Structure 1
């Protein structure tokens, strides 16, 4: 199984940032041999060092080195030391090295993300206005609601990038957790009245039901492709996947087969699913999990990385 697209994209982004900043550090550490007189050599070396140091300071942000915090140069030197010592490096090592630079560039990333998200919010405002005949005042309030969501999301990402201990997996999961419509139900409940509110709520439960249905069907298909579920197991696994969806509501009418969703095991998704599988199916699942981990490990080794020890290759099945 190939690495998840969002995880791979984050690796490439972080590596790109780290390599770009590393150019300044490596330049400082690998100046060519001087030529000419000792004085000329000293002048050239001093000028080159000053140029490299200024570039590093510009990348790392004003005053960061003087404050004694971890810098891009620190991270690059740590990675160089690991490579020289033959120690494997992981995507998290690269992320930690690039984190000071990403933190300093986060205002630029935030502006790019806010611009794109505001376009999406404008589209949704137009759609909701058309469907529920919103007044100008209601449109203005809805725009404020979406604008605040965009700002909150930008802050969430900035805080995550700046926080000590953040991992590449944390960043990957943060991108998956973003939902444009979180909180929309409560907002519209305080905005619409009567039939309009009832229509909106009916539309929302239908929309969420479709999400849950599609997500659960997809996950059941993936599990079935590995362990060959029987019909009764398919119903139970569908119920597990549906109930663990963030959009699930007990009022939903889902087509999961003959069985009742409420009859499926509850609790942690993975543990509940494993309780449904027969012993030989659990062995098949674990064997496939190991096979995919080995494949992903080889793929990461080709890029020069070690596999994150905590990463579950079937976590998003």
Structure 2
């Protein structure tokens, strides 16, 4: 979707397949893989019991994922609109049923992630054993919050495919809030180094996003030098992680408030000349039409809030 849409679909299908089939080789004793196999066996036994009870009662039960998939495939064959939101809604019941497996996998993965992050930060700042333990607990809690957000999306009847993608993204936000924890452990030169490093990382992230957006915009409408300065300031204010007063770039102007995506795009459009605005609108429409055509090739339509998956692009 855009370029990333095919990859996202592939990841979704691949993840589903990976969860439905166990590995062909036997897992090592007491390994995470063996624990996953035990969970899968328990789930299969429960499913068999449910099937037996349904057969005894003469009731095949409510419509399930297979029925939903069958309906979607029929709609595609008939040329009806089917969006990725429809696909996601169809597999939600299956994902809810597989919640025990998801939880077990999360517990295993979150411990590995917490250990890796704790090891990296403790080596960098020479943390004591007690400080490492505190930091590890922070990472574990952060991962639990991430898992809760994912569960909320899966269990919501109104969430869509874009919500699902956003709930599974991992990036720099996963360390948001850690500054207060680390600053309580460090002092002197180490504390100064930590603050400077975090500020530098934030500034570079905002600048990088603004530069990417500026290159894309200039390719669309050919900005003059004054417009480039204005556009960069606007794009910086609309970048993820931008904080008022934390960054000082050329072209920021008197108003340095943060901008959401809609406000950012409106501000960008206001600095363009009429002919540039027309070209800007036409290029965006063409890009959406291209994405829609790409989806039509597999019989699908774009999900709601599709533009939010564009990230910093136009």
> TM-score normalised by the shorter chain: which range applies?
0.7 to 0.9
Q: Which residue of 1 aligns with 2:35?
A: none
Q: Which residue of 2 aligns with 1:225?
A: 219
Q: Which residue of 2 aligns with 1:58?
A: 47
Q: Which residue of 2 aligns with 1:3?
A: 2
**Deviating more after overlay: 138-147 vs 149-158:** 149-158
Structure 1 regions of 5+ residues with no counterpart? Answer: 22-54
In structure 1, C-alpha distance between the alignment counterparts of 2:47 and 2:8, rounded to whole Å? 24
In structure 1, C-alpha distance between the alignment counterparts of 2:247 and 2:7, rounded to whole Å? 37
Q: Which residue of 1 aligns with 2:29?
A: none
Structure 2 regions of 5+ residues with no counterpart? Answer: 20-43
| TM value normalised by structure 2 | 0.74
| TM value normalised by structure 1 | 0.74
Q: Which residue of 2 aligns with 1:297?
A: 292
Q: Which residue of 1 aligns with 2:22?
A: none
Count of aligned positions:
277
In structure 2, C-alpha distance between the alignment counterparts of 1:213 and 1:247, rounded to whole Å? 11
In structure 1, C-alpha distance between the alignment counterparts of 2:6 and 2:228, rounded to whole Å? 31
In structure 1, C-alpha distance between the alignment counterparts of 2:191 and 2:51, rounded to whole Å? 52
The structure whose Rg is larger is 1
- Aligned: 1:242 with 2:236: yes
In structure 1, C-alpha distance between the alignment counterparts of 2:127 and 2:304, rounded to whole Å? 51
- Aligned: 1:269 with 2:264: yes
Q: Do the aligned residues in 1 keep the contact of 2:84 with 2:301 (CA within 8 Å)?
A: yes
Question: In the superposition, relative to structure 1, how do residues 253 and 86 fare at CA in structure 2: closer, same or farther (>3 Å)?
Answer: closer
Cα shift readout 1:262-306 (whole Å, capped 9, x = no counterpart) = 457864211111111221111111111111112111111111112
Question: In the superposition, relative to structure 1, how do residues 145 and 85 fare at CA in structure 2: closer, same or farther (>3 Å)?
Answer: same
- Aligned: 1:161 with 2:129: no
In structure 2, C-alpha distance between the alignment counterparts of 1:110 and 1:276, rounded to whole Å? 49
Cα shift readout 1:14-73 (whole Å, capped 9, x = no counterpart) = 55688999xxxxxxxxxxxxxxxxxxxxxxxxxxxxxxxxx9x939x899x99x876314
Q: Do the aligned residues in 1 keep the contact of 2:96 with 2:154 (CA within 8 Å)?
A: yes
Q: Do the aligned residues in 2 keep the contact of 1:226 with 1:284 (CA within 8 Å)?
A: yes
In structure 2, C-alpha distance between the alignment counterparts of 1:181 and 1:76, rounded to whole Å? 38
SS in 2 for 1:269: helix
CA RMSD of aligned residues (A): 3.4
Question: In the superposition, relative to structure 1, how do residues 213 and 84 fare at CA in structure 2: closer, same or farther (>3 Å)?
Answer: closer
Q: Which residue of 1 aligns with 2:174?
A: 180
Q: Which residue of 2 aligns with 1:104?
A: 97
Q: Do the aligned residues in 2 keep the contact of 1:92 with 1:167 (CA within 8 Å)?
A: yes
Q: Do the aligned residues in 2 keep the contact of 1:15 with 1:94 (CA within 8 Å)?
A: no
**Deviating more after overlay: 264-273 vs 301-310:** 264-273
SS in 1 for 2:168: helix
Equivalent residue runs for 1:247-266 within 5 Å: 247-254=241-248, 256-257=249-250, 259-262=251-254
SS in 1 for 2:286: helix
